């Protein structure tokens, strides 16, 4: 994708990062005791059970928002950095970078009492990042076909 659009993508990346800092840390009230989950798929399983069992509407809504939100909110992390930094246009690099950013965010949430640290958030966020990077690769191939050389 063209170098002439890199400043636009950089501006969008900055807006995205600031928005995520706001949503994940600044817009949350402090907790009395932060939670931590290091057991993979524990909270995913709990949310899936809420959806399967029917339960109360607001609990199902919380489950859907948590599961889909943790994936969807990280789609841009799969393509915006790759648009700005050509070295991140590889699966391994983008996923390692995303994992580092997500672990930092989870740690900051935990330390500042603004959220819990959850391995399932990392897993769901990385799924979102991977889907976002897959979309980036599809669009990049289409662009390169239309603009060879």
CB 111 within 8 A of CB 122: no
Q: Do the Cβ atoms of 128 and 73 come closer than 8 Å?
A: yes
Closest CA to 51 of 38, 62, 60: 60
End-to-end CA distance of the chain: 11
pTM, whole model, 2 decimals?
Answer: 0.92
Burial 29-43 (b: 16+ CB within 10 A, else e): eeeeeeeeeeeeeeb
Q: What is the per-residue pLDDT across 57-112, written as a single tens digit (0 to 9) for each?
A: 888 899 999 999 999 999 999 999 999 999 999 999 999 999 999 999 999 999 99
What are the pLDDT digits (tens) for 9-53?
A: 999 999 999 999 999 999 999 998 888 999 999 999 999 998 888
Backbone angles phi, psi at 118, to 5 degrees: -135, 125
Q: What would the DSSP string read from start to end of 17-62?
A: HHHHHIIIIITSPPPSS--EE-STTHHHHHHHHHHHH---HHHHHH
* 117 pLDDT more than 70: yes
pLDDT-derived band of residue 4, with 50, 70 and 90 as boundaries?
confident
Q: How far apart are CA 28 and CA 26, in angstroms?
A: 6
- Compute the average pLDDT of residues 113-120: 94
pLDDT confidence band for 54 (50 / 70 / 90): confident
By the 8 A CB rule, do 23 and 114 touch? no
């Amino acid at each position: 994708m063209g170098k002439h659009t890199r400043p636009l993508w950089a501006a969008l990346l900055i807006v995205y990062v600031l928005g995520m800092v706001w949503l994940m840390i600044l817009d949350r009230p402090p907790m009395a005791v932060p939670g931590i989950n290091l057991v993979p798929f524990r909270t995913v399983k709990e949310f899936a059970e809420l959806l399967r069992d029917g339960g109360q509407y607001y609990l199902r809504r919380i489950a859907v928002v948590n599961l889909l939100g943790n994936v969807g909110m990280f789609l841009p992390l799969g393509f915006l950095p790759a648009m700005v930094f050509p070295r991140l246009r590889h699966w391994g690099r983008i996923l390692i970078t995303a994992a580092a950013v997500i672990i930092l965010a989870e740690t900051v949430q935990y330390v500042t009492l603004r959220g819990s640290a959850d391995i399932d958030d990392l897993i769901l966020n990385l799924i979102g990042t991977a889907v976002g990077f897959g979309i980036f690769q599809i669009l990049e191939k289409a662009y390169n076909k239309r603009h060879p050389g």
